[in-house]
Structure 1
Amino acid sequence: MNKVKVGIVGLGRLGKQHAENIAFRIPNAELTAVCSIVEKEIAEVQKNWGIKYGYTDYDEMLENKELDAIFISSPSSFHCEQIEKALKAEFHVFSEKPLGLYLNEAEKVAKVVNECRDKQVFMLGFMRRYDKSYVYAKEKIEEGAIGKPILIRCYGLDPTSAIGSFLKFAKNNYSGGLFLDMAIHDLDLARWYLGSEAERVWAIGDSYEYPEFKEINDAETGVALVKFKNGAMGIFVADRNCAHGYHIETEIIGTRGTLRIGTIPEKNLVTVFDHTGAIRECSEGFLERFEQAYLSEVEEFINCIIEKSQPKVTVEDGVNSTALAYACKESFETGKLITL
């Protein structure tokens, strides 16, 4: 196999970034086909990038036997169905998070993934595991630098500037809500860093500035408190209305020390001095903050296909993170303490 020929479904903000990475930044990959329900997106990419095939029908793309792999960057509500179809058509599959919006569908697709494991590669897009700072923190934990991790605190704050586009997305029932769509990255990191699954969850939240969130039974800002099976604790804050920009912060407290990642969400190492004072600008969005991580995760996927190996992120990570995120959603909606 000289190059892995990839077809991608979904050309929104993240999908287009993935498509560009596959087309121009990964030597062993070739973007051969694109699929979207928006014909304008297909025409633009085909014209500007010289992509051979364009589809508005996902099933039609799966009939293209020139392809080796399918990359799924469509809305979350379509993931499970599209994963299952692509695997049954004998393609390697990369899917953006979450694995599914409901635990039963995530468990169902996990069975299909494991049935195909000997001959096909499946990978889920938990890109923070490929960010250099988060990887370094994991190495320090494994070295015993902070002793035994006992508490993780995560802030996931989206910029206010993105609220309009998100509400349009959410009102079509594509997101699954604050915890499944947004906090799931932090919930997965907690499982990874603590080496344990969740046991009990309590989540609260509300709409403070934008009542539209309450209208769709979602929260503008939410908090979850999680007890893990090994006794460790987790505090997770997710917010759609961050005035200063995109703020992703993680703290892991251990018995002999503490690690913090992204305490100040700096855009770069530049300080601007002007009449307002000394300013350190913030990242403006996830594509900027995790640009390298999005590239690195797809590089691993392509390398796994070529080397006939399996990625470090497994389908079980997808199932268990979905279970935890859905428990947070259930607790938020019912006001009850949820036992997993």
Structure 2
Amino acid sequence: MHIKIGAVGLGRLGRLHAENIAFRISQAELTAVCSIVKEEVDTVKSSWNIPYGYYDFEEMLQNKELNAIVIASSSTEHCRQISQALAAGFHVFCEKPLGVGMEEIRLAQQVVTKHSDKVFQLGFMRRYDTSYAYAKKKIEEGFIGEPILIRCYGLDPVSAINGAIAFAENSGGLFSDMAVHDFDLARWYLNSEANKVSAIGGCYAYQEFARYGDIDNGAALIQFKNNTMGIFYASRTCNHGYHIETEIVGTKGSVRIGTVPYKNLVTITNEQGVTNECVCDFLERFEVAYLNEIQNFVDCIIHNKKPDITVEDGVKSVEIAYAANKSLATGQTVYLD
């Protein structure tokens, strides 16, 4: 059995998803691609020999050869496209975030719940990273006792700042755009929902973000309902590369993932000293995780299973991000129901 997939969005991540489906995912076939950028569609369709290419998402949904849709379009399009694809009878994988407004996110949640016969999976790929999964296993086996605190750094390379500025108007803000991955990890590792959120931050290097009510560096402190704690730092101005670091502290020890964002196991010694190169972006750091999550999506369709990551995970993580945005704007602690 082969799952025939239509992919919408062919930017950096969208193209990686499409390439994985076309060449690396077992029992999957990239049958159609869609983008509002005509050149992206034409290039992928011809060079990879893809049967169908579309410039309009609704037109792609008319293709009854397809079994599933993978959404990697702009965040502002996610909720609408999720709803349309499910209503048209397709299984759906959607990149994070679920959406950029709580009202539309809750409507999308209702649609996903209504179409419970379809597989819906959200793209929190870090859960499919081998190191993060290994850390989860060690925690569940009691190696650090009971988790009491999580510390997360999510630092984007400053080399990507122009793209971040260009996207800022529709990103939903630093916490929604970047820290939402860490908020999901916190819920996963601590087995609890957020209770109260306090956030601070500013435009320390790039005032351009202020035009959109956004920031280039921010931090959040969260207390969870089981009284565990979370410390989160997000930045768009990292000079040494793409730095994703997570530490979970327990009553008997701790576990860290990505303390140094090594590119590989190579150490270079020369006139500049002893150096280790760092990963340059999220595509490089989580290359295997992106592959694993789409494989899981396809496997769930074939075996009629539900993914571990649900629409509720998307809603809860965005709720935390919006609480952080509100705390940043008001200077007040925000309580979540």
Q: Report the TM range for the smaller structure's normalisation.
A: over 0.9
Per-residue CA distance 1:267-325 (angstroms, 9 max, x = gap):
00000111001101000000000000000000000000110111110111111111111
**What corresponds to 2:265 in structure 1?**
269
**What corresponds to 2:209 in structure 1?**
213
Shift of 1:214: 1.2
CA distance in 2, matches of 1:134, 1:27: 23
Gaps of 5+ in 1: none
Shift of 1:138: 0.5
- 1:134 maps to a residue whose letter is Y
CA distance in 2, matches of 1:14, 1:141: 30
User: Do the aligned residues in 2 keep the contact of 1:154 with 1:249 (CA within 8 Å)?
Assistant: yes
User: Do the aligned residues in 2 keep the contact of 1:101 with 1:326 (CA within 8 Å)?
Assistant: no
CA distance in 2, matches of 1:62, 1:289: 32
In the TM superposition, structure 1's runs of 4+ consecutive aligned residues that sit over 4 Å from their partners are none
**What corresponds to 1:61 in structure 2?**
60
- 1:233 aligned onto 2:255: no
**What corresponds to 2:5 in structure 1?**
6
CA distance in 2, matches of 1:149, 1:100: 30
Shift of 1:27: 2.1
Shift of 1:47: 1.1
Query: What SS class does the counterpart of residue 201 from structure 2 fall into?
Result: strand
- 1:263 maps to a residue whose letter is T
Query: What SS class does the counterpart of residue 106 from structure 2 fall into?
Result: helix
Shift of 1:331: 1.1
CA distance in 1, matches of 2:106, 2:250: 33
User: Do the aligned residues in 2 keep the contact of 1:223 with 1:235 (CA within 8 Å)?
Assistant: yes
Gaps of 5+ in 2: none
**What corresponds to 1:125 in structure 2?**
123
Q: How many residue pairs were aligned?
A: 336
User: Do the aligned residues in 1 keep the contact of 2:168 with 2:214 (CA within 8 Å)?
Assistant: no
**What corresponds to 1:155 in structure 2?**
153
Percent of matched pairs sharing the same residue: 60
**What corresponds to 1:136 in structure 2?**
134
User: Do the aligned residues in 1 keep the contact of 2:36 with 2:55 (CA within 8 Å)?
Assistant: yes
CA distance in 2, matches of 1:199, 1:101: 21
Query: What SS class does the counterpart of residue 148 from structure 2 fall into?
Result: strand
Shift of 1:103: 2.1
> 1:222 aligned to 208, 215, 218, which one?
218
CA distance in 1, matches of 2:112, 2:221: 31
Per-residue CA distance 1:223-262 (angstroms, 9 max, x = gap):
0000000000100000000000000000111111011110
Query: What SS class does the counterpart of residue 144 from structure 2 fall into?
Result: coil
CA distance in 2, matches of 1:276, 1:216: 41
> 1:259 aligned to 255, 259, 265, which one?
255
CA distance in 1, matches of 2:322, 2:51: 39
CA distance in 2, matches of 1:219, 1:169: 13
CA distance in 2, matches of 1:318, 1:209: 30
**What corresponds to 1:321 in structure 2?**
317
Matches within 5 A, 1:274-285: 274-285=270-281
Matches within 5 A, 1:1-340: 2-117=1-116, 119-171=117-169, 173=170, 175-340=171-336
Shift of 1:332: 1.2
TM-score (norm: length of structure 1) = 0.98
Q: CA RMSD in A?
A: 0.8
